[in-house]
């Protein structure tokens, strides 16, 4: 008996809560599994949703870290509000699944998750520990029309800027909208090169970095988040210039082949590194002036 008690003390503090909610966890797993499979096939396997598994893993970890604090502040939420939230979310889930709208299906599943958290912890605990819940919301895929509307001006802008920067170096390039003719080759700036893909991933990772490591003021945090957009645009301009040069000097097969994907991954890493360098310089400058970040 003493051995069992000693072994129980070694278990994680949240282990008892997990065991007590096993039926609910099993039901949630049955509901969530088909959606996660569809997200994996339709969204996370594409460049625009590649950040999904990272956000899911880190989001669950953040929620796990906050579980004890949420439990300590827990006051069961309103039954009526929980039911309204669950019914609305289940309606979106069923509609999205029936008509193959992955955005609505994922939104419905997320709504069920938030409603269950509200039932368990109440509104106050959720508001105090809001970040992990908000962060997991970045898993939701944006509808196609939203992506198209957002990427259209970005595609035009990065196409114009890339062509303008390359032309003075004697590269024969003609641009018509998002289509560029480089020597005998024709390039089309698609969504993958417009900045939208790296923008979503950069926002997620930057928010995780600010929340976990910086503990900065909301003004400084908002400033860092605002920097994501110009950094992502410049990174994608460099990416397009790289692909233009690869295509012109080595041919279309090289520009659109393996190096096309490599350039995107490399510049995504450069964008993150640039964000961290800017943060380091700014935080040290503010510290020297005696102002907290």
List residues with catalytic annotation.
Answer: 193, 239
* Of 143, 152, 155, 141, nearest in space to 49 by CA: 141
CA distance 166 to 284: 36
Supply the DSSP string of 120-163, one letter for each residue. HHHHHHHHHT-HHHHHHGGGSPPPHHHHHHHHHHHHHHHHHHHH
Q: Are strands 173-176 and 185-188 parallel, antiparallel or unpaired?
A: unpaired
Neighbours of 134 (CB within 10 A): 11
Distance CA 135, CA 133 (A): 5
Coil, strand or helix at 11: coil
SS3 state at 181? strand
Show the tokens assigned to 292.
Answer: 């907290």
Instruction: For residue 9, give every residue at least 6 positions away whose Cβ sits within 8 Å of its Cβ, in sequence order, or none.
Output: none
């Amino acid at each position: 008996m003493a051995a069992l008690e000693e072994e129980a003390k070694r278990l994680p503090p949240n282990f008892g809560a997990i065991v007590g909610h096993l039926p609910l966890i099993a039901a949630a797993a049955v509901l969530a599994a088909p959606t996660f499979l569809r997200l994996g096939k339709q969204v996370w396997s594409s460049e625009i949703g590649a950040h999904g598994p990272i956000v899911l893993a880190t989001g669950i970890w953040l929620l796990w870290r906050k579980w004890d604090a949420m439990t300590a502040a827990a006051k069961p939420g309103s039954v009526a509000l929980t039911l309204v939230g669950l019914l609305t979310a289940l309606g979106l889930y069923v509609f999205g699944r029936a008509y193959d709208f992955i955005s609505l299906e994922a939104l419905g599943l997320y709504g069920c998750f938030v409603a269950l958290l509200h039932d368990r912890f109440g509104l106050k605990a959720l508001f105090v520990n809001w970040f992990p819940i908000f962060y997991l919301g970045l898993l939701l895929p944006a509808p196609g029309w939203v992506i198209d509307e957002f990427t259209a001006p970005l595609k035009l802008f990065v196409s114009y800027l890339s062509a303008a920067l390359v032309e003075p170096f004697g590269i024969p390039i003609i641009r018509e909208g998002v289509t560029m003719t480089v020597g005998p080759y024709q390039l089309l700036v698609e969504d993958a090169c417009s900045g939208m893909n790296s923008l979503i991933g950069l926002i997620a990772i930057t928010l995780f970095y600010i929340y976990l490591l910086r503990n900065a003021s909301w003004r400084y945090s908002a400033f860092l988040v605002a920097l994501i957009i110009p950094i992502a645009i410049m990174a994608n301009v460099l990416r397009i210039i790289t692909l233009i040069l690869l295509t012109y000097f080595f041919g279309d097969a090289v520009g659109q082949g393996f190096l096309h994907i490599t350039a995107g991954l490399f510049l995504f890493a450069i964008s993150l590194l640039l964000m961290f360098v800017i943060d380091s310089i700014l935080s040290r400058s503010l510290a020297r002036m005696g102002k907290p970040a």
